[in-house]
Amino acid sequence: ENFPRKTSAPFCTNSYDAFISPDTLNLSTFTKLMKKLEEIHPEASRDKIVDALLEVRKNNKGILSGLPISSIVERTSVIL
């Protein structure tokens, strides 16, 4: 059983401009993204933030991968 290995794009832990894995929005990136959005929008519930992220994904042809985190934060903030 040889499954293809997923590779991630370079990720800088100190920058919200880092690129997300080309395969998926990984849990670590999601956690950082949620933390940043919760800091910017303390009035928004976690569910509301997730709904806004899903809308950003829908508006971006169903994917978030490849977008800089800063862009995702900006687009999500507009929705929130």
Higher pLDDT, residue 35 or 6: 35
Return the pLDDT at 47: 93
Q: Where are the domains positioned within the chain?
A: 44-79
Residue 78: pLDDT band by 50, 70, 90 thresholds?
very high
Classify burial at 13, counting beta carbons within 10 Å of its beta carbon; exposed 0-12, middle 13-18, buried 19 or more: exposed
Question: CA-to-CA distance for 17 and 15, rounded, in angstroms?
Answer: 5
Structure confidence by residue, pLDDT tens digits, 32-74: 899 999 999 999 999 999 999 999 999 999 988 888 999 999 9
